[in-house]
Amino acid sequence: MVDGVAGPARVKIHQVLHGYAEGHRQIAGSVSLKSRDAKMLLVLSDISGPGIKIEECGYLTGYPLAEAGLYAFARTWGAPEMSRPGCVWTHTLLIDFADLAVLPSLGDLLAAFQRPQPNAERRYDRQLAIESWSEPPRIDERDEGQARRIVGALYGKPTARVVATRSSEIDSEALVMALWSQQWPRLRRAFRFCTFAGSDRSMAGASFDLQLLPPGNHAIRTRFSKAVDAESVSASGDWLDTAVEDLLHPRPHGLRQFLRQIGGDVAGGRAAFPSLCLLSGLIDRIGSEPRALEDAIAILQDDLGASQARAARSAVTVAALPEAERLSEAALDYLLDNLVSLDVEAVQTSTRPLARALLLRRPHTLADMLGSDGAVANVARQALGRASSEELLTGLRSAPELVNPILSSRPEITSEPAFWASGLGVADEALGVLRRSERGQQVLAAMIEAGRSDLAEQAVATFGDGEVLAAVVSAMRAGRLEGGNGERWFRAAAQMGAVTYLFAQEERLPRQLLLLVARAFGPDDLPNDYGEDPWLTAARHAVGSVPDRDEVHLRAYLLARSFGRRSRNQAELAQMGFEVTHAAAATDRVADESWRWLDPRLPRSMFWFEWDRCQRLRAGVVNLFVERQLAPELFGHLVRDDRLFGLIAEQAARTSGGRAYLKDVRMALKYSTDESSSARHYFIKKLIK
């Protein structure tokens, strides 16, 4: 790729030959021109001035033919073989304006020039095919001084006709070709030059920009009234350094590519050249120099004007996007005002810094952008898409109106606990959007971790009691839900159907959850129409621990359920709840709330032991096993404490039914091999002999 052009440029051009044949006239040509253009071609193909001696290689002339939309690029040779002095041959290439724009190296045109040979005029009657693929023309370092003078005069005095002396020590032709190739397309096709002018070649309304004069003839200089001599102009500055450096060392992505890209809508011609050179350098430094963007904006506003240089504005805006966070307020205003000029691809790679700048400094502006149309709204949406969660939350705290667009483009933000922090005040809007979401568990986990138990009822309405209950279980397992916060979440989701389903699906439930279920429902509320009692399964496999008083509360609940008629595992529940509850009753550690479950299910008596809770518990558990004929082997292992076992066995032996049941218990223990079972077997045998 050369100078921004991918592959060689192939163009077809017309050609015309002028020479002497009973006067200077057109000898041959591949195209017919209108009279005005033909007349200009005739005049400028003649010798460039009287009394000059043309070098053997000839000289070059370039100028536009406005009516035809063609650029005339000509080489003129002396024709000493003609009988009349001062005759010349001029071979002119006529290049379409559009083709002139795509040629990366105008120096490739030089090879097309052919000095006419006798009787060879017919070769000029057909079009030529030109292929341009060379490196952009450059100047030699020894020509740098002359180049600096000509460039300084040409663009430092943009309305003047510039002249310079053609020196035999300098490759003036290469210098002019390099200058012409450096220009952007619109300037190229308007540029008028002659590399060997014996008199001013300017015509009415068509002044020549640059003319090189023969050396050593000071009289010729008088023919260029009001022209500016490059030798007399003292120009300096960064723009001049940039331009000359590009002439010396043109780069594929340097100044000339920049000029090609942004010069199309710049109407200033030569006057705009210094500003564009400065702009090119400033854009390259926007990322490293804080003032570069402000200086670039000043050039756009002061030098180029608000109604033009749209491509230049886009280039500055693209360069500023990655630096959006570090921009001053005025520069950020400029960036936002010019976003509409950018294409989608230019924005996609650089919206991350813009997102940070807007969310941290201008969240309300971002909200307004999202409400607009077209490119600006697209930029805002991309900015939201590239922002971090922390940045989104920062913007949301300042501009709550961003909640809906943020949730639309970044729904995963609702999985962040910080999103649900009470200070944001966007819960209602968020839950309204999340009603259509499938992110239930992640969102609920974030809400729970944020401590937003005040949203529990709304969460149940949004996601359903089953989803919320599952999230509560997960939070408890992770140790993120305790105390009143956990109880409120549970109560919001504690519908019997959801709890029943949970007990049926999950075995290793947190012990804390069982305690909450016990406080929310009566001992007989949970159904057990078939299979193992879900309470037994849950209690047997529960994980975690609770404080001692809560453990007593849970064991009393299981014991109370065993006394009821709902469970299909009454003996196992009694075995799980009796001993702990009895020990707590003995030390007055059974809370009134727990006793309220047990009291109506235990036997009553008019005797003195009515106040003795331990006596009533023993009587109740004996009645349970004896009257309902529960598994004798489980009675034999109802408690670990042998003394307590003796008390309940003695309680059973006081009735005939109890004594008969103890015989079954003795037989169940008879064949056990453990020492405790053997001792209890002999104790019962002795008790009922």
Report the number of distinct structural domains present in the chain: 3
Q: What is the mean pLDDT of residues 367-375?
A: 79
The residue written with tokens 């180029």 in the block is 304
pLDDT of 426 reads: 80
d(CA 459, CA 475): 15
pLDDT of 532 reads: 93
The answer on 503 and 458 residing in a single domain is no
Kind and range of the H or E element at 513?
helix 511-520
Asked if pLDDT for residue 398 goes beyond 60, the answer is: yes
The answer on 568 and 482 residing in a single domain is no
Residue 312 inside a domain? The answer is no
The answer on 506 and 486 residing in a single domain is no
Higher pLDDT, 21 or 566: 566
The answer on 555 and 486 residing in a single domain is no
Task: Write out pLDDT tens, residues 444-469.
Answer: 999 988 888 888 999 998 888 888 99
Tokens of 446: 């974030």
pLDDT of 218 reads: 77
Higher pLDDT, 10 or 213: 213
Residue 561 inside a domain? The answer is yes
**Please, what's the b/e burial string for 301-316 (b: 16 or more CB within 10 A of its CB; e: otherwise)?**
eebbeeeebebbbbbb
Amino acid code (one letter) for 106:
L
Three-state DSSP class for 260? helix
The answer on 520 and 538 residing in a single domain is yes
The answer on 530 and 505 residing in a single domain is yes
d(CA 559, CA 572): 9
The answer on 511 and 483 residing in a single domain is no
Asked if pLDDT for residue 376 goes beyond 80, the answer is: no
Q: Are 339 and 346 within 8 A, CB to CB?
A: no
Structure letter (DSSP) for residue 476? H
Task: Write out pLDDT tens, residues 103-142.
Answer: 877 888 999 999 998 666 778 999 999 887 667 788 999 9
Task: Write out pLDDT tens, residues 461-491.
Answer: 888 888 899 899 888 888 888 767 788 898 8
d(CA 684, CA 649): 7
Full residue range of the structural domain in which residue 538 is found:
494-597
Residue 127 inside a domain? The answer is yes
Q: What is the mean pLDDT of residues 27-51?
A: 93
Q: Identify the CA nearest to 70 among candidates 115, 101, 116.
A: 101
Q: Are 188 and 101 within 8 A, CB to CB?
A: yes
The answer on 553 and 430 residing in a single domain is no
Residue 541 inside a domain? The answer is yes
The answer on 169 and 83 residing in a single domain is yes
- pLDDT tier at 440 (50, 70, 90 boundaries)? confident
Task: Write out pLDDT tens, residues 601-626.
Answer: 999 865 545 578 999 999 999 999 99
